[in-house]
Amino acid sequence: MGRNELRLIIRKYLAEKPRNTAEISAWLNSQNNPSNSSEIAAIMESDATLVRIGTVHKSGMAGNSPPLSEWATEEWVRHHERDTPKERRN
């Protein structure tokens, strides 16, 4: 499967809700689209419609394992953005 096809599949998967790199990788493998995490990260980092919204630590992981990036679509981020707080009047 080509990078563009993989990118489209990932966008559709992230349209529901944000996911971390490990979840995306596991889901792709379950869909018979095996890809490694570094390939997935490279695809997402090069896609302007996908946004890294944070990092998560996997529960129960031993050692100094790095946190996983959490990803969302720009549309999801816009829809869930908080309004800017209004100034308080005294």
**pTM as predicted:** 0.74
Q: Does 87 reside within a domain?
A: no
- Structural domain contains residue 89: no
Q: Which CATH number do you get for residue 35? A: 1.10.10.10
CA pair distance 65, 47, nearest whole angstrom: 26
In a domain, 38, yes or no: yes
Q: What is each CA distance from 35 to 5, 24, 68, 80, 81, in whole angstroms?
A: 13, 10, 16, 29, 31
- Residue-number span of the structural domain to which 29 is assigned: 3-58+66-80
| Domains of the chain: total | 1
pLDDT digits (tens, 9 = 90+) for 16-44: 999 998 899 899 889 887 777 778 888 88
Residue 26 lies in a domain: yes
Strand order in the sheet with 19-20: 19-20, 68-73, 50-56
